[in-house]
Structure 1
């Protein structure tokens, strides 16, 4: 597979950062296998990408289900394989304290963020090793390196994914697999906060209230694309990105009168 025939699997491609990253790579001329749970959103993505130079293959996939991942692998393998995996599927659910946390929420976050990435990686590692210049990019979060009140479950999941990524980089260097981690801070997307707050749009809006320029899905997609488009010998191990207004996890500047 030459540089002009780069091919990637992008999970979480139905919305937010995953969707934006799939579109960005297709714009760059890649073949992209867009994996996500919602077929309708995948078909909408296909319509949006019709005039772009790359090639899009839609694969309805649930990263928490082994049979679904087996089917995904079969589709990718039959279509020529990939050299790059971008694990972007994930999310947060709930903002309760640990004392009041819902175990089912934690279970979902760990299944989706940590074990979902693990399942994809284990399934596709032999393909990436055989390619000779494979890349795995895991989208984690600044929540994976700094804990905060009300974030215990998401912290636990993203800390776990962060640790998985670090161990993978050490283990797979001998197979010439590049392992990249992108850790965004505050990103405003159409679904992340809404889902976390169980559809309470007022609470979701409060997450971003007064922050005039949070990161966007396109911002993160640009960084992910840049990292995997670099010559293979260059590894951006960990890329922490935040809006300027978020100087640290605990310091967010909210401007008065800004919605």
Structure 2
């Protein structure tokens, strides 16, 4: 994700528009590079891909693009032209619909053990309190399960990994025992303050950090935005406001 952020920053410094494409600029089958990886990550965030970005526009990516286009009212040619690109990276992009053929794993429902709610603190202020390398105490709002995550990066939300194998087991238990696309309402204790937040159940990225998790996952605070152009993540926001008691 750092690489993507650096790419966006470099483009800004060079006065090159990142958000938007020229009408004759198309990303299509067998193309490679950072632009393809960025598209794949956004498709993954919206539920159209279930594997991490590779940077190669393969047949699986084409099928995901076609699904996105069909769901969003664009002719499904499987290519990323300006219309598809601009809608893909907009707040109006529709998520992939739930498939009846896919088993949806969901963590425990609210059991009443957590009686308090978190503060809706602003992400910019919270980010300064948890620099990279910080340990973060997390409590699952529904079940009361607690575990520790460590921040490894993130711009609009915190990229986090479990601190230990025990923390990873507790993280998985809060999501029903396996990776899932669910966003869980959580409470995060930083100093004397408890903040409302959202934890994502689908890790992404590289190698096992020694705890069992492949790559990292995302811990989001108010207002619930992604690292892909800072777009609004409505599912995270729902989880955050629930943790705040709203």
TM-score class normalised by the smaller sequence: under 0.3
Specify which structure has the bigger relative contact order, considering alpha-carbon pairs within 8 angstroms and separated by 6 or more residues.
1
With normalisation by structure 1, the TM-score equals 0.24
Query: Relative to total residues, which structure has the larger helix share, 1 or 2?
Result: 1
TM-score (norm 2): 0.25
